[in-house]
Amino acid sequence: MKISIKILLFLVLVFNFSCDKTEIDKYNYIVIFTDDMGYGDIGVYGHPTINTPYLDRMSVEGQKWTQFYSAASVCTPSRAALLTGRLPVRSGMASSVNRVLFPNSKYGIPKSEILIAEKLKDHNYKTAIVGKWHLGHNDEFLPLNHGFDYYYGIPYSNDMDKINNNPYWSEYDRDELNSKSYNVPLMENFKIIERPADQTTITKRFSEKVIELVNQYKEDNFFIYLAHSLPHIPLYASDDFLGKSKRGLYGDVIEEIDFGVGQILNQLKKLKLDKNTIVVFTSDNGPWLTYKTHGGSAGLLRNGKGTTWEGGMRVPAIFWGAGIVPKSVNEMGSTLDLYPTFMSISNISYKDDNELDGVDLSEVLFNNGSSTREIMPFYNGSELYAFRYKNYKLHLKTSSWFSKVETHDPPMLFDLEIDPSEKYNISEENPEKINEILKIINLHKEKIIFGNDQLESRD
Protein backbone atom coordinates (compact mmCIF):
# COMPACT_ATOMS: atom_id res chain seq x y z
CA MET A 1 0.00 0.00 0.00
CA LYS A 2 2.84 2.43 0.86
CA ILE A 3 4.49 1.74 -2.50
CA SER A 4 1.26 2.54 -4.32
CA ILE A 5 0.92 5.88 -2.53
CA LYS A 6 4.52 6.77 -3.42
CA ILE A 7 3.90 5.93 -7.07
CA LEU A 8 0.70 7.99 -7.05
CA LEU A 9 2.46 10.99 -5.54
CA PHE A 10 5.24 10.71 -8.09
CA LEU A 11 2.74 10.60 -10.98
CA VAL A 12 0.94 13.66 -9.61
CA LEU A 13 4.26 15.48 -9.32
CA VAL A 14 5.24 14.61 -12.89
CA PHE A 15 1.80 15.67 -14.15
CA ASN A 16 1.93 19.00 -12.36
CA PHE A 17 5.42 19.89 -13.57
CA SER A 18 5.38 18.39 -17.03
CA CYS A 19 3.89 19.68 -20.22
CA ASP A 20 4.47 19.22 -23.90
CA LYS A 21 7.48 21.36 -24.75
CA THR A 22 6.10 21.86 -28.27
CA GLU A 23 3.04 23.65 -26.82
CA ILE A 24 5.20 26.47 -25.43
CA ASP A 25 6.18 29.17 -27.92
CA LYS A 26 8.93 30.70 -25.80
CA TYR A 27 10.33 30.00 -22.39
CA ASN A 28 11.32 32.52 -19.75
CA TYR A 29 14.60 31.98 -17.91
CA ILE A 30 15.77 32.87 -14.43
CA VAL A 31 19.33 31.96 -13.42
CA ILE A 32 20.15 32.24 -9.70
CA PHE A 33 23.92 32.28 -9.24
CA THR A 34 25.33 32.36 -5.72
CA ASP A 35 28.86 33.45 -4.80
CA ASP A 36 31.17 30.90 -3.11
CA MET A 37 28.42 28.47 -2.11
CA GLY A 38 29.85 24.98 -1.72
CA TYR A 39 28.59 21.65 -3.03
CA GLY A 40 27.60 20.61 0.48
CA ASP A 41 25.83 23.79 1.64
CA ILE A 42 22.23 22.80 0.83
CA GLY A 43 20.07 20.37 2.75
CA VAL A 44 19.31 18.23 -0.28
CA TYR A 45 23.06 18.00 -1.00
CA GLY A 46 23.69 16.68 2.49
CA HIS A 47 24.20 19.59 4.90
CA PRO A 48 22.98 18.51 8.35
CA THR A 49 22.22 21.91 9.92
CA ILE A 50 21.52 24.48 7.18
CA ASN A 51 17.77 24.57 6.62
CA THR A 52 16.91 25.02 2.92
CA PRO A 53 13.28 23.91 2.48
CA TYR A 54 12.67 25.87 -0.72
CA LEU A 55 15.75 24.62 -2.54
CA ASP A 56 15.01 21.11 -1.29
CA ARG A 57 11.47 21.39 -2.71
CA MET A 58 12.84 22.86 -5.94
CA SER A 59 15.08 19.81 -6.36
CA VAL A 60 12.18 17.39 -5.77
CA GLU A 61 9.98 19.20 -8.26
CA GLY A 62 12.82 19.55 -10.79
CA GLN A 63 16.24 18.09 -11.46
CA LYS A 64 19.13 17.95 -9.01
CA TRP A 65 22.47 17.51 -10.79
CA THR A 66 25.24 15.83 -8.83
CA GLN A 67 28.14 16.26 -11.31
CA PHE A 68 27.74 19.86 -12.43
CA TYR A 69 30.72 22.18 -12.90
CA SER A 70 31.47 25.85 -12.97
CA ALA A 71 34.08 26.71 -15.59
CA ALA A 72 36.42 28.40 -13.09
CA SER A 73 37.15 28.35 -9.38
CA VAL A 74 36.99 32.15 -8.86
CA CYS A 75 34.48 34.91 -9.58
CA THR A 76 35.21 36.79 -12.81
CA PRO A 77 36.00 33.89 -15.17
CA SER A 78 33.15 31.75 -13.85
CA ARG A 79 30.65 34.54 -14.63
CA ALA A 80 32.06 35.13 -18.09
CA ALA A 81 31.73 31.42 -18.83
CA LEU A 82 28.11 31.18 -17.74
CA LEU A 83 26.97 34.15 -19.82
CA THR A 84 28.95 33.31 -22.98
CA GLY A 85 28.96 29.50 -22.99
CA ARG A 86 32.71 29.72 -23.60
CA LEU A 87 35.75 28.84 -21.56
CA PRO A 88 36.94 32.17 -20.11
CA VAL A 89 40.41 31.85 -21.67
CA ARG A 90 38.70 32.38 -25.04
CA SER A 91 37.37 35.80 -24.02
CA GLY A 92 40.49 36.82 -22.11
CA MET A 93 38.46 36.80 -18.88
CA ALA A 94 40.85 34.33 -17.21
CA SER A 95 44.37 35.32 -16.28
CA SER A 96 47.31 33.97 -14.36
CA VAL A 97 48.37 37.56 -13.53
CA ASN A 98 45.15 38.72 -11.82
CA ARG A 99 42.63 35.98 -11.14
CA VAL A 100 39.67 38.43 -11.05
CA LEU A 101 38.80 42.04 -11.88
CA PHE A 102 39.37 44.75 -9.25
CA PRO A 103 38.01 48.29 -8.74
CA ASN A 104 41.12 49.64 -10.50
CA SER A 105 41.01 47.20 -13.42
CA LYS A 106 40.92 48.90 -16.81
CA TYR A 107 39.01 46.37 -18.87
CA GLY A 108 36.16 43.87 -18.81
CA ILE A 109 34.11 41.54 -20.99
CA PRO A 110 34.96 42.27 -24.65
CA LYS A 111 32.27 43.56 -26.99
CA SER A 112 33.08 40.68 -29.33
CA GLU A 113 31.58 38.22 -26.83
CA ILE A 114 27.91 37.31 -27.32
CA LEU A 115 26.12 36.97 -23.99
CA ILE A 116 22.92 35.04 -23.32
CA ALA A 117 21.18 38.36 -22.69
CA GLU A 118 22.25 39.78 -26.05
CA LYS A 119 21.06 36.73 -27.92
CA LEU A 120 17.68 36.63 -26.19
CA LYS A 121 17.20 40.39 -26.47
CA ASP A 122 17.60 40.07 -30.23
CA HIS A 123 14.58 37.77 -30.06
CA ASN A 124 12.37 40.23 -28.15
CA TYR A 125 13.16 39.09 -24.62
CA LYS A 126 13.23 41.51 -21.71
CA THR A 127 16.60 41.08 -20.00
CA ALA A 128 17.77 42.06 -16.53
CA ILE A 129 20.60 41.39 -14.11
CA VAL A 130 20.15 41.75 -10.36
CA GLY A 131 23.22 41.36 -8.13
CA LYS A 132 26.94 41.02 -8.72
CA TRP A 133 28.28 41.71 -12.22
CA HIS A 134 32.11 41.49 -11.91
CA LEU A 135 32.77 41.63 -15.65
CA GLY A 136 34.01 45.23 -15.75
CA HIS A 137 32.92 48.31 -13.78
CA ASN A 138 33.66 51.03 -16.37
CA ASP A 139 30.63 52.12 -18.40
CA GLU A 140 31.53 50.32 -21.64
CA PHE A 141 31.70 46.98 -19.80
CA LEU A 142 28.54 47.35 -17.68
CA PRO A 143 25.48 45.14 -18.33
CA LEU A 144 23.46 47.63 -20.39
CA ASN A 145 26.23 47.57 -23.01
CA HIS A 146 26.08 43.78 -23.16
CA GLY A 147 22.47 42.95 -23.85
CA PHE A 148 20.75 43.72 -20.55
CA ASP A 149 17.83 46.16 -20.41
CA TYR A 150 18.17 46.71 -16.68
CA TYR A 151 20.84 46.41 -13.99
CA TYR A 152 20.47 46.60 -10.22
CA GLY A 153 23.45 45.45 -8.20
CA ILE A 154 27.11 45.77 -7.34
CA PRO A 155 29.86 45.92 -10.00
CA TYR A 156 32.40 43.64 -8.27
CA SER A 157 32.91 41.55 -5.13
CA ASN A 158 31.46 42.69 -1.82
CA ASP A 159 34.87 42.60 -0.07
CA MET A 160 36.43 45.19 -2.38
CA ASP A 161 36.78 48.93 -1.72
CA LYS A 162 37.58 48.28 1.96
CA ILE A 163 37.55 51.59 3.85
CA ASN A 164 39.54 50.68 6.95
CA ASN A 165 42.45 48.40 7.75
CA ASN A 166 40.62 46.32 10.33
CA PRO A 167 41.41 42.61 10.14
CA TYR A 168 38.46 40.71 8.71
CA TRP A 169 37.48 38.94 11.92
CA SER A 170 37.51 42.14 14.00
CA GLU A 171 34.41 43.26 12.12
CA TYR A 172 32.49 40.38 13.70
CA ASP A 173 33.57 40.95 17.28
CA ARG A 174 31.08 43.78 17.60
CA ASP A 175 27.49 43.62 18.78
CA GLU A 176 26.23 44.58 15.31
CA LEU A 177 27.43 43.80 11.81
CA ASN A 178 28.88 46.88 10.16
CA SER A 179 28.43 46.80 6.41
CA LYS A 180 29.98 50.26 6.06
CA SER A 181 33.54 48.95 6.27
CA TYR A 182 33.38 48.34 2.52
CA ASN A 183 32.68 51.19 0.11
CA VAL A 184 31.04 48.96 -2.51
CA PRO A 185 28.52 50.85 -4.66
CA LEU A 186 24.96 49.74 -5.38
CA MET A 187 24.10 50.67 -8.95
CA GLU A 188 20.98 50.99 -11.05
CA ASN A 189 21.82 50.89 -14.73
CA PHE A 190 24.80 53.32 -14.99
CA LYS A 191 24.08 55.30 -11.81
CA ILE A 192 25.38 54.73 -8.28
CA ILE A 193 22.31 54.93 -6.03
CA GLU A 194 23.86 53.90 -2.71
CA ARG A 195 27.43 53.95 -1.43
CA PRO A 196 28.42 52.09 0.56
CA ALA A 197 25.76 49.53 -0.18
CA ASP A 198 23.92 48.33 2.91
CA GLN A 199 24.92 44.68 2.71
CA THR A 200 22.83 43.66 5.71
CA THR A 201 19.71 43.91 3.52
CA ILE A 202 21.21 43.24 0.10
CA THR A 203 20.09 39.61 -0.26
CA LYS A 204 16.53 40.53 0.63
CA ARG A 205 16.54 43.48 -1.78
CA PHE A 206 17.95 41.42 -4.62
CA SER A 207 15.21 38.79 -4.25
CA GLU A 208 12.51 41.45 -3.99
CA LYS A 209 13.83 43.18 -7.10
CA VAL A 210 13.55 39.94 -9.08
CA ILE A 211 9.92 39.55 -7.98
CA GLU A 212 9.29 43.16 -9.04
CA LEU A 213 10.78 42.45 -12.47
CA VAL A 214 8.75 39.26 -12.88
CA ASN A 215 5.61 41.29 -12.27
CA GLN A 216 6.81 43.96 -14.69
CA TYR A 217 7.72 41.47 -17.44
CA LYS A 218 4.84 39.03 -16.99
CA GLU A 219 3.28 39.87 -20.36
CA ASP A 220 6.62 39.46 -22.14
CA ASN A 221 9.29 36.80 -22.40
CA PHE A 222 12.20 37.46 -20.08
CA PHE A 223 15.66 36.45 -18.97
CA ILE A 224 16.57 37.45 -15.41
CA TYR A 225 20.03 36.78 -14.03
CA LEU A 226 20.07 36.94 -10.22
CA ALA A 227 23.73 36.89 -9.16
CA HIS A 228 23.78 36.98 -5.37
CA SER A 229 26.87 38.65 -3.88
CA LEU A 230 26.79 36.23 -0.93
CA PRO A 231 27.90 33.95 0.74
CA HIS A 232 31.19 35.53 -0.43
CA ILE A 233 32.81 37.18 2.60
CA PRO A 234 32.05 39.57 4.29
CA LEU A 235 28.89 37.82 5.49
CA TYR A 236 25.68 39.71 6.29
CA ALA A 237 22.07 38.78 6.94
CA SER A 238 18.95 40.85 7.52
CA ASP A 239 17.24 41.05 10.90
CA ASP A 240 14.73 38.35 9.94
CA PHE A 241 17.50 35.78 9.49
CA LEU A 242 20.40 36.98 11.62
CA GLY A 243 21.13 34.50 14.41
CA LYS A 244 18.48 31.99 13.28
CA SER A 245 20.54 29.18 11.74
CA LYS A 246 22.21 26.38 13.70
CA ARG A 247 25.16 26.81 11.33
CA GLY A 248 25.84 30.36 12.56
CA LEU A 249 26.20 33.45 10.38
CA TYR A 250 27.07 31.45 7.26
CA GLY A 251 23.91 29.42 7.73
CA ASP A 252 21.89 32.62 8.22
CA VAL A 253 23.10 33.83 4.82
CA ILE A 254 22.24 30.58 3.01
CA GLU A 255 18.83 30.37 4.65
CA GLU A 256 18.00 33.93 3.56
CA ILE A 257 19.02 33.10 -0.01
CA ASP A 258 16.85 29.99 0.18
CA PHE A 259 13.87 32.02 1.40
CA GLY A 260 14.25 34.41 -1.53
CA VAL A 261 14.29 31.48 -3.96
CA GLY A 262 11.03 30.28 -2.44
CA GLN A 263 9.42 33.70 -2.83
CA ILE A 264 10.44 33.86 -6.49
CA LEU A 265 9.09 30.39 -7.25
CA ASN A 266 5.85 31.15 -5.42
CA GLN A 267 5.40 34.35 -7.44
CA LEU A 268 5.92 32.45 -10.69
CA LYS A 269 3.24 29.97 -9.62
CA LYS A 270 0.89 32.75 -8.56
CA LEU A 271 1.17 34.37 -12.00
CA LYS A 272 1.04 30.94 -13.70
CA LEU A 273 4.44 31.67 -15.21
CA ASP A 274 5.71 28.35 -13.93
CA LYS A 275 4.02 26.94 -17.04
CA ASN A 276 6.64 28.51 -19.32
CA THR A 277 9.60 29.44 -17.10
CA ILE A 278 12.86 27.59 -16.40
CA VAL A 279 14.72 28.43 -13.17
CA VAL A 280 18.32 27.33 -12.65
CA PHE A 281 20.06 27.54 -9.28
CA THR A 282 23.82 27.06 -9.04
CA SER A 283 27.07 28.59 -7.71
CA ASP A 284 30.04 30.37 -9.28
CA ASN A 285 32.63 28.12 -7.58
CA GLY A 286 33.31 26.17 -4.42
CA PRO A 287 33.57 27.41 -0.81
CA TRP A 288 36.24 29.81 0.48
CA LEU A 289 37.72 27.40 3.00
CA THR A 290 40.40 29.77 4.34
CA TYR A 291 37.64 31.72 6.12
CA LYS A 292 36.83 28.75 8.35
CA THR A 293 33.28 29.02 9.73
CA HIS A 294 32.57 31.96 7.39
CA GLY A 295 33.27 29.69 4.43
CA GLY A 296 31.03 26.92 3.21
CA SER A 297 31.40 23.20 2.71
CA ALA A 298 32.31 21.16 -0.34
CA GLY A 299 30.74 18.10 1.29
CA LEU A 300 32.62 14.93 0.36
CA LEU A 301 34.62 16.78 -2.31
CA ARG A 302 38.27 17.75 -1.95
CA ASN A 303 39.37 21.35 -1.29
CA GLY A 304 37.49 24.48 -2.40
CA LYS A 305 37.56 27.87 -4.10
CA GLY A 306 40.65 28.82 -6.06
CA THR A 307 41.63 25.22 -6.80
CA THR A 308 41.01 22.72 -9.58
CA TRP A 309 40.16 19.95 -7.12
CA GLU A 310 36.52 18.87 -7.27
CA GLY A 311 35.58 21.08 -4.33
CA GLY A 312 36.70 24.15 -6.25
CA MET A 313 34.56 23.66 -9.35
CA ARG A 314 31.86 21.04 -8.77
CA VAL A 315 28.81 22.97 -7.58
CA PRO A 316 25.17 22.38 -6.65
CA ALA A 317 22.79 22.74 -9.60
CA ILE A 318 19.00 22.52 -9.68
CA PHE A 319 16.78 22.94 -12.76
CA TRP A 320 13.09 23.66 -12.16
CA GLY A 321 10.13 24.54 -14.33
CA ALA A 322 7.76 23.69 -17.12
CA GLY A 323 8.23 20.28 -18.71
CA ILE A 324 11.35 19.29 -16.76
CA VAL A 325 11.42 15.59 -15.85
CA PRO A 326 11.85 15.36 -12.04
CA LYS A 327 14.88 13.25 -11.15
CA SER A 328 18.41 13.25 -9.83
CA VAL A 329 20.91 13.51 -12.68
CA ASN A 330 24.22 11.73 -12.11
CA GLU A 331 25.83 12.86 -15.36
CA MET A 332 28.15 15.72 -16.26
CA GLY A 333 26.89 19.23 -16.89
CA SER A 334 28.33 22.72 -16.63
CA THR A 335 27.40 26.38 -16.46
CA LEU A 336 28.92 26.46 -19.96
CA ASP A 337 25.88 24.48 -21.09
CA LEU A 338 23.23 27.05 -20.19
CA TYR A 339 23.81 29.15 -23.31
CA PRO A 340 23.24 26.38 -25.90
CA THR A 341 20.50 24.80 -23.79
CA PHE A 342 18.46 28.00 -23.56
CA MET A 343 18.91 28.69 -27.27
CA SER A 344 17.87 25.17 -28.17
CA ILE A 345 14.80 25.27 -25.94
CA SER A 346 13.71 28.57 -27.50
CA ASN A 347 14.49 27.42 -31.06
CA ILE A 348 17.04 30.20 -31.52
CA SER A 349 19.91 29.51 -33.91
CA TYR A 350 23.34 29.73 -32.30
CA LYS A 351 25.58 27.50 -34.43
CA ASP A 352 27.15 30.51 -36.18
CA ASP A 353 27.97 32.33 -32.94
CA ASN A 354 31.42 32.40 -31.37
CA GLU A 355 32.94 28.96 -30.76
CA LEU A 356 31.07 27.50 -27.78
CA ASP A 357 32.30 25.05 -25.16
CA GLY A 358 28.83 24.20 -23.89
CA VAL A 359 26.52 21.35 -24.88
CA ASP A 360 22.75 21.26 -25.17
CA LEU A 361 21.19 19.65 -22.07
CA SER A 362 17.57 19.87 -23.24
CA GLU A 363 17.26 16.13 -23.90
CA VAL A 364 18.13 15.47 -20.26
CA LEU A 365 15.78 18.14 -18.99
CA PHE A 366 12.70 17.23 -21.02
CA ASN A 367 13.06 13.75 -22.49
CA ASN A 368 14.88 11.73 -19.84
CA GLY A 369 17.87 11.57 -22.19
CA SER A 370 21.58 11.48 -21.45
CA SER A 371 24.06 14.33 -21.27
CA THR A 372 26.45 14.54 -24.20
CA ARG A 373 29.15 16.19 -22.09
CA GLU A 374 32.14 13.86 -21.93
CA ILE A 375 34.95 16.28 -21.07
CA MET A 376 35.53 19.08 -18.58
CA PRO A 377 38.70 21.21 -18.62
CA PHE A 378 39.91 22.65 -15.31
CA TYR A 379 41.81 25.91 -15.79
CA ASN A 380 43.67 27.77 -13.06
CA GLY A 381 43.86 31.28 -14.46
CA SER A 382 44.93 30.77 -18.07
CA GLU A 383 46.69 27.43 -17.52
CA LEU A 384 45.13 24.00 -17.82
CA TYR A 385 45.69 22.17 -14.53
CA ALA A 386 43.33 19.20 -14.84
CA PHE A 387 41.03 17.49 -17.30
CA ARG A 388 38.08 15.18 -16.90
CA TYR A 389 37.17 12.61 -19.56
CA LYS A 390 34.05 10.61 -18.75
CA ASN A 391 34.55 9.27 -15.21
CA TYR A 392 38.33 9.84 -15.10
CA LYS A 393 40.04 13.03 -13.98
CA LEU A 394 43.69 13.70 -14.67
CA HIS A 395 45.70 16.29 -12.69
CA LEU A 396 48.71 17.85 -14.44
CA LYS A 397 49.21 20.38 -11.65
CA THR A 398 47.59 21.02 -8.26
CA SER A 399 47.59 23.72 -5.62
CA SER A 400 45.52 24.90 -2.69
CA TRP A 401 44.34 28.50 -2.28
CA PHE A 402 47.23 30.49 -3.83
CA SER A 403 49.73 28.01 -2.38
CA LYS A 404 52.78 26.49 -4.05
CA VAL A 405 51.99 24.74 -7.32
CA GLU A 406 52.91 21.07 -7.57
CA THR A 407 53.56 19.52 -11.00
CA HIS A 408 52.75 15.83 -11.38
CA ASP A 409 54.80 13.58 -13.65
CA PRO A 410 53.20 11.22 -14.29
CA PRO A 411 49.87 13.04 -13.84
CA MET A 412 47.61 11.96 -11.02
CA LEU A 413 44.50 10.03 -12.03
CA PHE A 414 41.21 9.52 -10.19
CA ASP A 415 38.02 7.64 -11.02
CA LEU A 416 35.40 10.16 -9.91
CA GLU A 417 32.49 7.74 -10.11
CA ILE A 418 34.15 5.55 -7.48
CA ASP A 419 36.24 8.20 -5.73
CA PRO A 420 34.60 11.66 -5.91
CA SER A 421 36.75 12.79 -2.98
CA GLU A 422 39.93 12.32 -5.07
CA LYS A 423 41.66 10.30 -2.35
CA TYR A 424 43.10 7.42 -4.33
CA ASN A 425 45.55 8.12 -7.12
CA ILE A 426 45.34 5.25 -9.65
CA SER A 427 47.89 6.51 -12.16
CA GLU A 428 50.36 3.64 -11.67
CA GLU A 429 47.77 1.02 -12.60
CA ASN A 430 46.40 2.94 -15.61
CA PRO A 431 49.18 4.24 -17.90
CA GLU A 432 47.04 3.57 -20.99
CA LYS A 433 44.20 5.69 -19.63
CA ILE A 434 46.63 8.52 -18.87
CA ASN A 435 47.97 8.42 -22.42
CA GLU A 436 44.43 8.38 -23.81
CA ILE A 437 43.46 11.48 -21.83
CA LEU A 438 46.73 13.27 -22.70
CA LYS A 439 45.88 12.82 -26.39
CA ILE A 440 42.41 14.31 -25.79
CA ILE A 441 44.04 17.22 -23.94
CA ASN A 442 46.32 17.88 -26.93
CA LEU A 443 43.29 17.96 -29.23
CA HIS A 444 41.56 20.34 -26.83
CA LYS A 445 44.56 22.68 -26.76
CA GLU A 446 44.77 22.71 -30.55
CA LYS A 447 41.22 24.06 -30.76
CA ILE A 448 41.54 26.77 -28.10
CA ILE A 449 42.28 30.30 -29.28
CA PHE A 450 43.17 32.50 -26.31
CA GLY A 451 41.68 35.97 -26.14
CA ASN A 452 43.69 39.02 -25.09
CA ASP A 453 44.11 39.14 -21.30
CA GLN A 454 41.40 41.51 -20.00
CA LEU A 455 42.36 41.11 -16.33
CA GLU A 456 46.05 41.94 -16.44
CA SER A 457 45.90 45.74 -16.77
CA ARG A 458 45.20 47.81 -13.65
CA ASP A 459 45.56 51.52 -12.86
Using alpha carbons, select from 71, 82, 77 the residue that is nearest to residue 453. Answer: 77
Q: Among 47, 75, 228, 294, which one carries the catalytic annotation?
A: 75
Checking if the pLDDT of 9 tops 80, the result is: no
- Is 19 a catalytic site residue? no
Mark whether 352 and 431 lie in a shared domain. Answer: no
Instruction: Express each pLDDT in 106-121 by its tens digit.
Output: 999 999 999 999 999 9
Mark whether 185 and 284 lie in a shared domain. Answer: yes
Any domain includes 3: no
CATH number at residue 395: 3.30.1120.10
Any domain includes 457: no
Q: How confident is the model at residue 14 (pLDDT cuts 50, 70, 90)?
A: very low
User: Rounded to 5 degrees, what are φ and ψ at 438?
Assistant: -60, -35
Checking if the pLDDT of 21 tops 70, the result is: no
- Is 395 a catalytic site residue? no
Q: How far apart are CA 45 and CA 66, in angstroms?
A: 8
Radius of gyration over alpha carbons of the chain, in Å?
21
pLDDT at 172: 82
Mark whether 341 and 389 lie in a shared domain. Answer: no
Mark whether 370 and 383 lie in a shared domain. Answer: no
CA atoms within 13 A on the CB side of 441: 21
pLDDT, average across residues 279-289: 98
Checking if the pLDDT of 8 tops 50, the result is: no
Q: Where are the beta strands (DSSP E) in 185-313?
A: 186-188, 191-194, 222-227, 277-283
pLDDT, average across residues 169-184: 79
DSSP helix/strand/coil, 277? strand
Any domain includes 263: yes
pLDDT at 114: 98
Share above pLDDT 90 across residues of the chain, in percent, rounded to a whole number: 88
Mark whether 307 and 368 lie in a shared domain. Answer: yes
Mark whether 395 and 438 lie in a shared domain. Answer: yes
Mark whether 364 and 265 lie in a shared domain. Answer: yes
Tally of CB atoms within 10 A around 451? 19
Q: Among 134, 137, 232, 395, which one carries the catalytic annotation?
A: 134
Checking if the pLDDT of 19 tops 60, the result is: no
The residue among 214 and 176 whose pLDDT is bigger is 214
CA atoms within 13 A on the CB side of 391: 8
Checking if the pLDDT of 178 tops 50, the result is: yes
Range of the domain at 329: 26-374
pLDDT at 147: 98
Mark whether 218 and 201 lie in a shared domain. Answer: yes
Q: List the beta bridge partners of residue 111.
A: none
Domain boundary among the residues 374, 406, 436 is at: 374
Instruction: Express each pLDDT in 74-101 by its tens digit.
Output: 999 999 999 999 999 999 999 999 999 9
Q: List the beta bridge partners of residue 329.
A: 65
CATH number at residue 273: 3.40.720.10
Any domain includes 20: no
Any domain includes 11: no
Q: How far apart are CA 80 and CA 100, in angstroms?
A: 11
Mark whether 409 and 347 lie in a shared domain. Answer: no
Instruction: Express each pLDDT in 414-453 by its tens digit.
Output: 999 999 999 999 999 999 999 999 999 999 999 999 999 9
Tally of CB atoms within 10 A around 40? 20
pLDDT at 179: 73
Mark whether 382 and 266 lie in a shared domain. Answer: no
Domain boundary among the residues 343, 374, 405 is at: 374
Q: How many domains is the chain partitioned into structurally?
A: 2
Mark whether 245 and 157 lie in a shared domain. Answer: yes
pLDDT at 167: 86
pTM (2 d.p.): 0.94
Mark whether 418 and 361 lie in a shared domain. Answer: no
pLDDT at 180: 78
Any domain includes 124: yes
Any domain includes 47: yes
Any domain includes 452: no
